[in-house]
Amino acid sequence: MQRTDYHTHTPLCLHAEGEPEQFVARALELGMLTYGIADHAPMPPEMEPYDNWRMRCADAPAYREWIARARAAADSRLHILTGLECDWLPGIESWVRHLRHEFGCDYLIGSVHYLRRGESVDDSVYANRTITDSTERDWQLYWQAVTDMINSGLFDIVGHIDLVKIWGRVPQGDLSRYYTPALDALERSGTAVEINTAGWHKHCAEQYPACGLLRELLDRRIPIVINSDAHSPAHLSRGWRQAIDLLQELTGHALQQREIPAAHNPHTILHAYGSL
């Protein structure tokens, strides 16, 4: 099975490092098949500055140049795709459509970070307290947003699907009461879900999604891609082998690596995993 990584960042997001040539060199060293660049997308101009960890609208030319440099460095040895990681917010649909066209994206990752403006679930200010009045309410709002995002039909991959657990706060009982509507939406849409290996290096010390949720995704034959969420060349494709082993363990038999077309660009092929 060949490595792919569709969730990687550039210094334009203000919290990553590395030059395109360094990312390409690392990808080639690892024998990767595809290197997808999907930095944090700008918010609409009227909302800027939204936060301090994403591209600005004015960075679009620099982003195109960054990807062009990566492609020049790769020559024909590595397939490089243009993507964006877009935040889901109420009313954001037309802006996401604009971004896809403006950046000529091969694919889009949809992610939920915010429950309310300025209140990102992975902000360290919430390491020791909830955003709302309870963990249960945070989870309700988060998973409703994830479900709405999937139902929008705008995205090819769901990013770090259970990010809400990042600080280790998980409600009691069967968690499927929160995420079953999202699973149903995934089945209807055919949207892929990433194993985001960065979770192993966060406070929760667990990949996104958690094993119970990942097992349900596999049972429903929802396409799974393996992404590192790399913010430096050293982290590119980090944990890929561990993720393969985890999938193998959960399925109990051999994996299939299959090609699936991106939902909005049938000429873009994503490499996903599932049961034979």
pLDDT at residue 80, as a whole number: 98
Q: Is residue 247 a contact partner of residue 195, using CB atoms and an 8 Å limit?
A: yes
DSSP strand pairing (114-116 vs 107-111): unpaired
How do the domains of the chain map onto residue ranges?
A: 4-275
pLDDT at residue 266, as a whole number: 83
Q: How far apart are the first and last CA of the chain?
A: 14
Q: Is residue 8 a contact partner of residue 16, using CB atoms and an 8 Å limit?
A: no
CA angle centred on 198, ends 193 and 199, rounded to 5°: 80
Model confidence band, residue 62 (pLDDT cutoffs 50, 70, 90): very high
Handedness of CA 264, 195, 198, 71 (dihedral sign): negative
pLDDT tens profile 145-184: 999 999 999 999 999 999 999 999 999 999 999 999 999 9
Is pTM, for the whole model, over 0.95? Answer: yes
| Cβ neighbours of 38 (radius 10 Å) | 28
pLDDT at residue 107, as a whole number: 97
Domain range 4-275, CATH class = alpha beta
How far are the Cα atoms of 70, 162, 210 from residue 196, in angstroms, in the given order? 23, 10, 10
